[in-house]
């Protein structure tokens, strides 16, 4: 019985690995934005932390320290560029160079939440909060 269970688990693990392979290949061509085509998939992310984990950390890394590899992903940790909240809003909504515009994929609330999240975490201590209306103004 134990052996059968182990064998079943192994088969399941193999099957899920096979299933996830094509997805990974897709994602690597469009780092972090693989879910974009699936329209509305990101509405599930509620709150700044969830948006960061679901959308941003694929490029900016879990610790928001950025990465240099296939591309240059700037650190959001201890980032003086976040001082003026309008700047991160604009980058997220309208994109900037290799950072994709996310206006069609995130709601005003989600952008406001993630901006407030990155501006008050990862060594950033900006106290002023942005509101969904601030995001709307930049669309």
* Contact status: 92 vs ligand HEC (CB under 6 A): yes
Q: How many Cβ atoms are within 10 Å of 69's Cβ, its own excluded?
A: 7
Q: How near is the Cβ of 118 to ligand HEC at its closest, in Å?
A: 5
Query: Closest Cα partner for 111 from 47, 33, 21, 26?
Result: 47
Cα(72)–Cα(31) distance, rounded to whole angstroms?
Answer: 12
Q: Does 36 bind ligand HEC (CB under 6 A)?
A: no
Identify the CA nearest to 111 among candidates 128, 97, 130, 96: 130
Identified binder of ligand HEC from the candidate list 60, 85, 112, 113, rule CB under 6 A? 60
- Is 33 a binding residue for ligand HEC by CB under 6 A? The answer is yes
Chain residues binding ligand HEC by CB under 6 A are 31-33, 51, 55-56, 58-60, 71, 73-74, 76, 79, 81, 88, 91-92, 96-100, 102, 114, 118
């Amino acid at each position: 019985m134990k052996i059968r269970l182990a064998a079943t688990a192994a088969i399941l693990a193999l099957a899920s690995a096979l299933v996830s392979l094509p997805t990974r290949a897709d994602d690597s061509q469009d780092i972090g934005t693989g879910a974009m085509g699936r329209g509305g998939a990101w509405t599930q992310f509620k709150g700044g932390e969830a948006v960061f984990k679901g959308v941003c950390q694929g490029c900016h890394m879990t610790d928001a320290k950025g990465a240099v590899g296939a591309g240059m992903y700037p650190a959001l940790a201890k980032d003086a560029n976040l001082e003026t909240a309008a700047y991160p809003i604009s980058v997220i909504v309208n994109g900037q160079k290799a950072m994709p515009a996310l206006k069609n994929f995130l709601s005003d609330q989600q952008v406001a939440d993630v901006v407030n999240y990155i501006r008050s975490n990862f060594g950033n201590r900006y106290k002023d909060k942005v509101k969904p209306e601030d995001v709307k103004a930049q669309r």
